[in-house]
Chains A and B, each alone.
Chain A
Amino acid sequence: MPIYSVIVGIFGCSLEALLLYRGWRGRLFNHFALFFSYLAYVLVGSTATFGTYYLRPHLYPRLFWYFFLIGLLAEFAVLAQIGDHVFKSYPAIRMLGRFLVSLVVVISFASIAPSLASPLSHARALLDLAKGMMLTKAVIVVLLFMAARYVGIPLGRNVAGMLLGFSLYVGVNMANFALDIALGPGVYGQVFSTIGPLSWNLALLVWTMALWRYEPVIPARVAIRVGESKSPESLRYRLEQFNTTLGSLLRK
């Protein structure tokens, strides 16, 4: 293993440990349980794969790919939790994050599945799968940002930082995987193994800054009219009223 990879790996593990420590101290665990569980998984997994590389080198490739693929799947759960967190205080759109994540995942897996059945080498199939998953996550992050922006919901420093870090990681890796598939490991392999960990460390830096302390989101200021109830029934009634107003206009 080149010295560069060791340095980047140790730096990444230190940042992960620091983030976990800050999450524990700042009680961020309660709010972003899946995100910190994912970080703990990456920290333990990275340490285990490092150890395996030096102690049992023949097991390293298999262990790395298992660790990598489980991580790719876990990131979807993390994004779903971030989506829930963004909209949780707003009853009319409480399920919007979950809906967007599910929709994009179903569409993307439906489009990825046929390519997995084609006769490719294992390495190429894994790279294709990883590239497709990165694209899916990039779409989810952009959609979550857009939905929050469209409705006018403040994201807060913690969530905005988490999404920004994710977008850096998935954006850089998506291009990296595409380049590796196109140019081949012979030409691009060295750069590929440099850029991947670098993008992860960049994301960790963004997360460390964004999640240094818990910053509650101040809900958007809205005008509550006199005599207006905030119960779910009242909300449903008003949503239906809006739909009726628009529906009657369309039927004119």
Chain B
Amino acid sequence: MTGVFVYSTIAILALVAIAWLARERSPGAGGRTRDMASAQRTGLGVPGNGQFLKISDRIFDPGDFVWLRDAVGRRDLARQLAASRQRLAVQWLRTLRYSFNELLRTPQPAPLQGNADSAQGSWELLWLTARFHLLLAYAVSAVRIFGPYHRLVPSPNWRRFLPEPASPKRRFSTVN
């Protein structure tokens, strides 16, 4: 009887999910447009220009945070700044995803069937797409869990994970 319950539940969930997903939307509408509008409202700019990348340098740079925490000694403000930068970092990554998906949505006529080179190229493009989304999912999770100032790829130098004594000279060093 457990099997009946499991399969019936899966069937009902699949039907509900498909009915929900099948609702026709205008192209580009929905959450991604909201992401983009929100990004523009928060001043993140539009992906694809130099300013967008400069903003990412600023968001992920722990200099201000370290200065507030160590040089000024305002840990509460430093925590607020980190929380705000964390939100901005997630927003920046979402905007990057929006821009990437916009690139994916660029239509082109399908090639003639049986073209082996074209098929090979299509698989390579799919790999680049999948790789980007995997990296992005990892980056969003890491930022959400550890914050924007944590090293997203663990360093081989294990000593960097240990707390170091505060020093004004570390104004532009990394936190972790």
Among residues 100 to 144 in chain B, which have CB atoms less than 8 Å away from a CB atom of chain A? 100-110, 119, 121-126, 128-129, 131-132, 135-136, 138-139
Of B11-19, B66-74, B77-85, the stretch lying at the interface with chain A is B11-19
Interface assignment of A63: CB less than 8 Å from any CB of chain B: no
Among A152, A177, A224, which residue has its beta carbon within 8 angstroms of that of B101?
A: A152
CB of A163 within 8 A of CB of B18, answer yes
On whether the beta carbons of B128 and A240 are closer than 8 Å, the reply is: yes
Q: Is the CB of A222 within 8 A of B129?
A: no
- Do A243 and B131 contact each other (CB < 8 Å), given the known contacts A88-B110, A91-B108, A250-B153? yes
The reply to whether the CB of A221 lies closer than 8 angstroms to some CB of chain B is yes
Q: How far is the CB of B156 from chain A (nearest CB, A)?
A: 12
Q: Is residue B152 contacting chain A, with contact meaning CB distance below 8 A?
A: yes
Question: Contact: B102 with A222, CB < 8 Å?
Answer: yes
Contact partner of A145 among B22, B110, B138, CB < 8 A? B22
A169-207 contact mask (Cβ, 8 Å, vs B): 1 or 0: 011101101110111000000000000000000000000
Q: Is B48 an interface residue (CB 8 A)?
A: yes
How many residue pairs between the two chains, A and B, have CB atoms under 8 Å in the bound complex?
A: 180
Task: Report yes or no: B14 in contact with A167, Cβ–Cβ below 8 A.
Answer: yes
Q: Contact at B105–A151, with CB atoms within 8 Å?
A: yes
Contacts of B99 in A (CB 8 A): 242
Whether the pair B152, A250 counts as a contact (CB closer than 8 A) is yes
A5 on the B face (CB < 8 A): no
Interface residues of A in 144-179 (CB under 8 A from B): 145-146, 149-155, 157, 160, 163-164, 167-168, 170-172, 174-175, 177-179
Tell me whether chain B's interface is mostly helix, strand or loop, or mixed.
helix
A181 touches B110 (CB 8 A): no
A182 touching B18 in the complex, CB below 8 Å, given contacts A96-B126, A219-B27, A242-B132:
no
Contact B32 A152 (CB under 8 A): yes
Chain A interface: which of B2-10, B37-45, B164-172? B2-10
- Bound together, the chains give a CA A128 to CA B3 distance in angstroms of 11
Chain B residues positioned under 8 Å from A89 (CB to CB): 107-110
A236 CA to B122 CA, complexed, in Å: 10
* Any B CB within 8 A of the CB of A120: no
| Min CB gap B160→A, angstroms | 13
State A150–B94 Cα separation when bound (angstroms).
13
Residue contact B4 to A90, C-beta cutoff 8 Å: no
User: Measured between alpha carbons, how far is A163 from B24 in the docked complex, in Å?
Assistant: 13
Other contacts beyond A93-B104, A163-B18, A235-B125: 20, CB < 8 A: A90-B105, A90-B106, A92-B104, A93-B126, A94-B110, A138-B10, A138-B11, A152-B32, A154-B25, A157-B24, A164-B19, A164-B22, A168-B15, A175-B11, A222-B107, A223-B102, A242-B132, A247-B135, A250-B138, A252-B151
Which 3 pairs across A and B sit closest by C-beta, in order of nearness? A178-B7, A219-B107, A220-B27
Interface residues of A (CB under 8 A from B): 88-96, 99, 131, 135, 138-139, 141-142, 145-146, 149-155, 157, 160, 163-164, 167-168, 170-172, 174-175, 177-179, 181-183, 218-225, 230, 232, 235-236, 238-240, 242-243, 245-247, 249-252
